[in-house]
Structure 1
């Protein structure tokens, strides 16, 4: 009879775990995204562990509980169609990272508290039954797991922030803020930095699609805050705004443009400006040009860094250049990789794009970024994605990578038909193209062709010999001088 009762308890515990997994999948199809989500998953793990420890009288109950939760979770979210969930790939570093920041992080948030809960549940049963406590090492293990769970919770709740802006005397001045702004009914993260909030406002649009540039942009554009109010926001599906990617069928180029219009209006009203400046980087130049086309009245000028014109044609040209390089140098591995991937537009998104991107250095060789750019990067102590920046909480750090993969996969097919040589030969604002002489031919040739066709109230192509794709950051000091001495005096109307 006792065995039957134990079996019923265990069955109920497993059913509870499966229901929890199914409910989590329904509420959070891609797993925890925010700090609140992460704490909720930890609480679920702790509760399930306690139930399992009580039901099975053993901490080993975490194994079937974890499996029941996981199986139910995966079944309910079978129709989720973003790469970090539905396309497990272990053949590239990006695939491994995708697994780590999606299922891996979710598993840690659930399992660690579950282990604590199970051991506490067993201990409570022993105490209630008057059974002597287990070996002392069991108490030590429970204490260690409890401390680790507490540390994890502290890391989860640790808030994000952006460092202060300092004046010449080394004292904090101006504004340095991380804020939330509602765009299209969804919350987005907005960063604003300035020595003087009365300076003209510059809105920066990061590359990608899917790339969050908050920490890197803050570090690499630091010279600009003396002359402008530097603002950037995590676009829909990027980093701190990753949750706004869903539902994915509403994340479109048109929605991205509408979001940018909204944030531009917000900044214009907040800082009492008639017009603001818009700067795009790489994908951000596509978004920037489209936004300027729609609402030229919002902008004093447009600046393009790493300007894109036609993504499909650029990809084709770079692909052919890589094929030629592989043939010329006898690089059979690269040739085989390119043949396996196939010509653009790539079907195996985003994994094929990542493989080709990794080969870009062959075409840049022997180019080296400017010394100032390298020095700012080293001084910032940030990694290539900026994940180590204080602008990101623990969940934000995971979302930076998730957004880079998932948002790219959603948006990349939508920009295949963009061709500014056909669709944007007239802009109603002054245009400044920051041209890197070391840029890949597949990008630069199209930019020069488009610039020749472009009609604007004023247009300038400023070429930097010591720059490639990220011109604005590679030449941040020169861009500061350009903004201060040329662009703003000529266009601000102040």
Structure 2
């Protein structure tokens, strides 16, 4: 009797392990998207669960190198996909020469149109590869531009779209951020920042370095007002913690930022300069949710709210997160989780 019971328990445990291995998915590969190899990771405890495709910000700020501190618990409910976009992280490293020069930057432009096509091609792959009907898009900052473009272009591929720190009109948003930090610097009697702001003048700029200087001031004042994310979130995974990956992330970030901001002397046009969803992004054919940090300076709540009010979609929602700025913190992750489950009707 005891032997029979032990045998039963052995087979039950073995069957459980086999089932878990069969249902789970843990893939990290280069996929050919838009004619080049791009780095994509796919992880979930059950590959039949809904797909969530994360679109990182920056545009060079990849997410694949971090451990699961931010979204790890989501793997029980979803299949999580991280993508090092064209010009970023391992995708940059795979396609760039060993020695990256200004000539390479100028001869290999990044465009919103091409990156939108890349994202759509990835979405088609994921749906076919995982045997599902659609995927969910979650885009942050620059990723919100890309995500909105993808959802607007091919709504048939997406169950819903969640835009976090949604960019509406890049030029207007950057001007608004300049004016906000100018007021905050005056209130703080921050002479260093005031001197820098006076020297920069009101955007737009024709020099990427000026955009970078303004971004540093914006981040400084957002940090003073926001609840920070745990430092453990930014721990680089062991397999990415090496000199080559670090250099590729650094070079890719520089390259992507140049095409984000634009740099006239090098003939580089900003791929964000013409973004204005108030003109061409008001009608979605998929449900949308906008998650907005209450103390976000770069993509101000009032601008996102005004956009939300004009958007037409099968279903829409606006979530204002107290204590959150432009980036992530625990409250933002929690709001995203609730939004995604609600949109997908996952219990």
TM class by shorter chain equals 0.7 to 0.9
Residues 216/470 of structure 1: CA separation in 2 closer, same or farther (3 Å cut): farther
Of the three residues 395, 400, 403, the one matched with 2:244 is 395
Counterpart contact for 1:227–1:483, Cα < 8 Å:
no
Query: Contact 1:421/1:449 (CA < 8 Å) preserved in 2?
Result: no
In 1: Cα distance, 2:44 partner to 2:314 partner: 29
Q: Is the 8 A contact 2:139 2:146 kept in 1?
A: yes
The yes-or-no answer on 1:223 pairing with 2:73 is yes
Correspondence for 1:146: none
Tell me the distance in 2 between the aligned counterparts of 1:389 and 1:358: 29
Q: Could you tell me which residue of structure 2 aligns to residue 326 of structure 1?
A: 185
- Identify, as 1 or 2, the structure richer in helix: 1
The within-5 A match list for 1:135-154 is: none
1:207 Cα deviation after fit = 0.1
2:195 corresponding residue in structure 1: 336
Cα pair distance change 1:474/1:358, threshold 3 Å: farther
Over 3 Å counting, the alpha-carbon distance change for 1:220 and 1:428 in structure 2 is same
- The CA deviation at 1:240 is 0.4
Query: Aligned runs of 1:177-188 on 2, under 5 Å?
Result: 177-188=27-38
Match of 1:354 among 206, 212, 219: 212
> Counterparts of 2:137 and 2:53 in 1: how far apart (Å)?
5
Q: Which residue in the other structure is 1:52 paired with?
A: none
TM, length-normalised to structure 1 = 0.58
Q: Residues 56-67 of structure 1: matches in 2 within 5 Å?
A: none
Contact 1:305 1:471 in 2 (8 A): no
Residue 342 (structure 1) shift: 2.8
Counterparts of residues 29-428 of structure 1 (less than 5 Å): 174-216=24-66, 218-243=68-93, 244=95, 248-349=107-208, 351-364=209-222, 366-369=224-227, 373-374=229-230, 377-378=231-232, 380=233, 382=235, 386=236, 390-391=239-240, 393-412=242-261, 413-428=270-285
Q: 8 Å contact 2:56–2:143 — kept in the other structure?
A: yes
Q: How many residues in Structure 1 have an aligned counterpart in Structure 2?
A: 311
Partners of 1:469 and 1:178 in 2: how far apart?
A: 29
SS of the equivalent of 1:435 reads: strand
Q: Could you say if the C-alpha distance between residues 436 and 326 of structure 1 is closer, same or farther in structure 2, counting changes exceeding 3 Å?
A: closer
User: SS of 1:220's equivalent?
Assistant: coil
Deviations 1:320-365 (A, max 9, x none): 222223333332211221222232112221x223322222245336
Which structure carries more relative contact order (alpha carbon 8 Å, separation 6+)? 2
Rounded Cα–Cα distance in structure 1 between residues aligned with 2:298 and 2:248: 32
Gaps of 5+ in 2: 1-15, 97-103, 262-269
Distance 1:474 1:277, change over 3 A: same
Determine if the alignment matches structure 1 residue 466 to structure 2 residue 323.
yes
